[in-house]
Amino acid sequence: MNSDQLLETVNTFWDNHITPTLTEYIKIPNKSPSFDPKWEENGHMKKVVDLAVKWTNEHKPRNSILSVKQTEKRTPIILVDIPGDIEGNILMYGHLDKQPEMEGWNKGMGPWIPVMKNGKLYGRGGADDGYALFSSILAINALREQNISLPRILILIEFCEESGSPDLPHYMNLYADIIKAPDLVVCLDSGAGDYRRFWTTTSLRGLIGATLKVEVLTEGVHSGGASGHVPSSFRIARQLLSRIENEKTGEVLLDELKTKIPDYRLKETEEFVSVLGNEVVEEFPWKETMKPSSSDNVEGVLRRTWRPALSVVGADGLPPSANAGNVLRPFTQLQLSMRIPPLVDPTKAQEAMRKALTKNPPYNAKVTLHIEEGASGWNAPETKPWLSKAMNKYSKIFFKEPSGSLCEGGTIPFMAMLGEQFPKAQFVITGVLGPGSNAHGPNEFLHIPYAKKLTACVASILSDFRAD
Ligand SMILES: [Zn+2]
C-alpha cells in the first residue's frame, strides 16, 4: 500500500465529498429519541436517512449492498455490506442521531448552524458521530483504489445511540445472519487524548439514567406561611442524594457501583498522564479559579474513567429564577446521570440505587424513582500483536508519533453488547473527540485535519487485517 497516495485520496475526498455533506448534516436537528419523543412526526431522522442514503448510493464501494432496516415504532439502522476477497469479517460502527442543543454556544454559532473556523467544523453531531459513515466508506474506497485485498466489511449505522441504543439488541437478533460474528470491530465514536497521534479506547464507562421525584404537597403554598413547618422537597432530594454520593468529595458511596481497577489499566492511565501531562486538566473549560476534584492527575483521570460519578443533568418543578415567586413548591424532580465503571453489573447497580434512594424517605415524603434501562461499561480484550503493531506503525506514518491508548469516561452501549456476544472479536475504538471538541456540550467541533489522518490510519489498519 502506498501511504502517500492513500493520504492524498483521503484528503481530496474529505474536501470534496465529506465536509460539504457534514455541513448539511449539522443543519438537521436530528435529536435522539430520548430528547425528541416526537421524532417520527418531526421527520428530522427521515431527512438524515435520506441524506445518508443518497450520499452512500453515490459513493459506496462497487458490489456493495446498501439497506435501511426499520421495524415499526423503532429507529432505523443503515447497513452497507461490502463483500471481501479474503477470509474474515469486519464490523464498522457509527451513529447518526444527536445530543440536544445545550446552552453556551459562542456568538454566531449554534447547534444547527455549521461554521468552519481554523479547520474546525462547528455544530452538533459532526464529530459525534456524523463523520463515521462517510469516513468508513472513504477508507474502503481508498484501499480498493490500490487493489488491496480486504475481508467482508459491514458498516452499521444506528439512530438511537444517544438514547442508550435501545433498538440495537432487537436488530442484532433480527439480522444476526447479516451481522455475523465479527473478527474485528471498528468504532469511530470515541475520544482522542490529543490531535497529535492515533488513539484507541481500551475501556468505557456504563450509564444509568434515572428520574428522582420528591413530592411533599398537592399544590404550592405561600413560603412565608409554610416553610420550616413543611419540609422542602429540595432539601429532601439533597438528603436522598447524600445517601449515594459524598457531597464533599463526589465519591459514590454504593459498593455495587464500584470496581477493582485492573493493574494494567492503572499502568496505562499513568502512561497516558505522562504523555499528556497537565493537558489532562487543561482540556476542560474551567471557570476562573475553579480546581479539579483531585490535584493528582492520575487519580483525576481515574475518577472520570474507572470510578462511578453522579451528575444532576436536569430538573423539573423549579421555575426559572426570574419568574420564581416565594412559594414552597409541591415537588422537586431531578434527572440523574450515573456513570458506572467497566465490569460493574448495571442491574445490580440499579437495584442498589433504588434501595438507597427510596427506602424510608425523610418525613415519609412521596419519593418515586424511574430508572431507564442501564448500559454496561466495557473493558477491551487483549489486543492481538498484528493489530497493536498496525496501530502504532500507521500512527507513526501519518502523525509522526506512536499511537496512544486511553480509558474513556463515556458510554457506547453497542461495544458492551458486542464484547459480550463476541468475546473473540478484536476492537479498534477510536474517534475525533479530542480536547475542546466538546461533544454533548456547546461549541462541538470536528477537527478536520485530524479526521483526515484518522481516516488514513483506519484504512491502513484494515489493510493489515488478519483473521486468525
Ligand atoms: Zn457518539
DSSP alpha helices (H): ranges in 202-333?
Answer: 223-226, 233-244, 263-276, 279-282, 297-303
Residue 450 has pLDDT above 90, yes or no: yes
Going by C-alpha positions, the residue among 383, 368, 283, 362 that lies closest to residue 334 is 368
Instruction: Give residue 147 CA to ligand 1 midpoint distance, Å.
Output: 32
Q: For the residues 341-351, what does the mean pLDDT come to? A: 97
Q: What is the pLDDT of residues 271-326, one digit of tens each?
A: 999 999 999 999 999 999 999 999 999 999 999 999 999 999 999 999 999 999 99
- 244 φ, ψ (degrees, to nearest 5): -110, -15
Instruction: Give residue 72 CA to ligand 1 midpoint distance, Å.
Output: 24
Domains in the chain: ranges and CATH = 3-204+377-463 (3.40.630.10), 206-270+295-371 (3.30.70.360)
Q: What is the pLDDT of residues 205-242, one digit of tens each?
A: 999 999 999 999 999 999 999 999 999 999 999 999 99
Q: How confident is the model at residue 384 (pLDDT cuts 50, 70, 90)?
A: very high
Instruction: Give residue 30 CA to ligand 1 midpoint distance, Å.
Output: 13
Rounded CA-CA distance 106/149 in Å is: 46
Instruction: Give residue 44 CA to ligand 1 midpoint distance, Å.
Output: 18
pLDDT of residue 191: 93
Residue 467 has pLDDT above 90, yes or no: no
Instruction: Give residue 377 CA to ligand 1 midpoint distance, Å.
Output: 15
pLDDT of residue 249: 97
Going by C-alpha positions, the residue among 24, 19, 49, 31 that lies closest to residue 113 is 24
Residue 335 has pLDDT above 90, yes or no: yes
Instruction: Give residue 209 CA to ligand 1 midpoint distance, Å.
Output: 17
Residue 468 has pLDDT above 80, yes or no: no
Instruction: Give residue 127 CA to ligand 1 midpoint distance, Å.
Output: 8
User: Taking the model in full, what pTM does it have?
Assistant: 0.89
Q: Cβ atoms within 10 A of the Cβ of 229, count?
A: 7
- 43 φ, ψ (degrees, to nearest 5): 80, 5
Instruction: Give residue 135 CA to ligand 1 midpoint distance, Å.
Output: 15
Mean pLDDT of the chain: 97
Instruction: Give residue 440 CA to ligand 1 midpoint distance, Å.
Output: 9
Q: For the residues 175-183, what does the mean pLDDT come to? A: 95
pLDDT of residue 373: 84
Q: Which three cell numbers stand for residue 351?
A: 437495584
Q: Considering just the CA atoms, what is the radius of gyration of the chain in Å? A: 23
Rounded CA-CA distance 364/178 in Å is: 53
Q: What is the pLDDT of residues 4-50, one digit of tens each?
A: 999 999 999 999 999 999 999 999 999 999 999 999 999 999 999 99
Instruction: Give residue 162 CA to ligand 1 midpoint distance, Å.
Output: 7
Instruction: Give residue 293 CA to ligand 1 midpoint distance, Å.
Output: 26
Instruction: Give residue 161 CA to ligand 1 midpoint distance, Å.
Output: 7
Residue 264 has pLDDT above 80, yes or no: yes
